[in-house]
Copies of this chain bind each other. A is one copy, B any other.
């Protein structure tokens, strides 16, 4: 019997360093460790094996999968950027707003400066939602 629990359908929310890697994968598509490392290293110096180790951990968490058929394994994010962000928003809503995303939105809006076009954009989205679910 494996010690590991049965694979959850939802991968856990990524940590900070993991999220940085995911951003590279979303932007570049399937990439090697070297690809990811070079991209990250430009912003902030980081060791090659650090990125490698992270990616190995992320496999265990099912945050990425990899194609090991070539010498340089190729990694890809398992979840889409949108789904991951949604997960992160949901997490914050659960943690700080009793699970209500709407309450989160209200707080966020009230506390942030926004330009008129931005407000219109939000309004437009509201209209679509209202139309979509009457």
Count of A interface residues, CB-CB < 8 Å: 37
- A108 touching B89 by the CB < 8 A rule? yes
User: Interface 1/0s, chain A 115-134, versus B by CB < 8 A?
Assistant: 01011011101100110010
Given A105-B105, A108-B105, residue A122 in contact with residue B126 (CB < 8 A): yes
Given A105-B122, A129-B119, residue A89 in contact with residue B92 (CB < 8 A): yes
- A110 touching B95 by the CB < 8 A rule? no
Q: List 5 A-B contacts (CB under 8 A).
A: A86-B107, A89-B92, A89-B111, A106-B125, A126-B126
The stretch that binds B, out of A53-61, A67-75, A96-104, is A96-104
- B104 touching A108 by the CB < 8 A rule? yes
Q: Which 6 A-B pairs have the closest CB atoms?
A: A101-B112, A86-B111, A102-B118, A89-B108, A92-B92, A101-B108
Cβ-closest chain B residue relative to A16: B95
Q: Quick check: is A82 within 8 A (CB to CB) of the other chain?
A: yes
Query: Which residues of A17-75 have CB atoms within 8 Å of chain B's CB atoms?
Result: 19
- A110 touching B122 by the CB < 8 A rule? no
- B82 touching A88 by the CB < 8 A rule? no
Q: Quick check: is A113 within 8 A (CB to CB) of the other chain?
A: yes
Q: Quick check: is A85 within 8 A (CB to CB) of the other chain?
A: yes
